[in-house]
Structure 1
């Protein structure tokens, strides 16, 4: 996973998940996905899509985009939905991996500062506090 994130950041010279998706020809759409779904990744006829719930704030939209990029890079050929009840609180293996990928991608250009807490570090990198458990 570290190599995958590192290679993406080096290749595209950014850790912005929206820019990376664009450069990988992954379409990003914003739709009302309802209360229980924050985002999804799917492939259809060799085209790739990330759909992000349009009711989320900017921080969550950025994180969800990075999370869904994780599915694209780590779990090719598998379509995934970010469902709150499964992804946020009782994440399965693929969801945990995508969350870790997102945290690694969004912190790729930054190291914690001296005496900075993990929460402060994640906040500075616009990562939702609920994802602090995925910072390693």
Structure 2
């Protein structure tokens, strides 16, 4: 998966998931998705969309966009929802893969500071605190 992320960064010349989505022709939309759905990815009539819950705090938006980009790159033709109660502790294979893609993208080009814990490194890289446990264990 690291090779996929590296190639994608080279192709789009960015690690910003929003700029990357734009470069790939993926439309970003914001909608009220309720309390548990953070974002979703879908294709309709050959157009691709990432929808982000407009109620999300700013620190979550990059991660959700990167996660949904992971679905676009890894799970072509499968519409998946990034749902809080299914994403962290009982995550299915596709959700775990999209989470890993998001982590690799958001930490790309960033190195841990000597003595820095992995958890602190992830937080500094834009991984929301609620996700740190998922990646650190």
TM score, norm. by length of structure 1? 0.95
- Partner in structure 1 of residue 135 of structure 2: 134
Q: Is the 8 A contact 2:37 2:83 kept in 1?
A: yes
- Partner in structure 2 of residue 23 of structure 1: 23
**How far is the alpha carbon of 1:109 from its aligned partner?**
1.2
**How far is the alpha carbon of 1:88 from its aligned partner?**
2.6
What does 1:36-55 correspond to in 2, within 5 Å?
36-55=36-55
Q: Is the 8 A contact 1:106 1:127 kept in 2?
A: yes
Partners of 1:60 and 1:29 in 2: how far apart?
A: 15
**How far is the alpha carbon of 1:130 from its aligned partner?**
2.5
Task: Describe the SS at the equivalent of 1:115.
Answer: coil
Deviates more, 1:17-26 or 1:113-122: 113-122
> Tell me, which stretches of 5 or more residues in structure 2 are unaligned?
none
**How far is the alpha carbon of 1:131 from its aligned partner?**
2.2
- State the superposition RMSD in angstroms: 1.3
Query: After TM superposition, which residue ranges in structure 1, 4 or more long, deviate above 3 angstroms?
Result: none
Partners of 2:113 and 2:13 in 1: how far apart?
A: 22
Partners of 1:24 and 1:13 in 2: how far apart?
A: 11
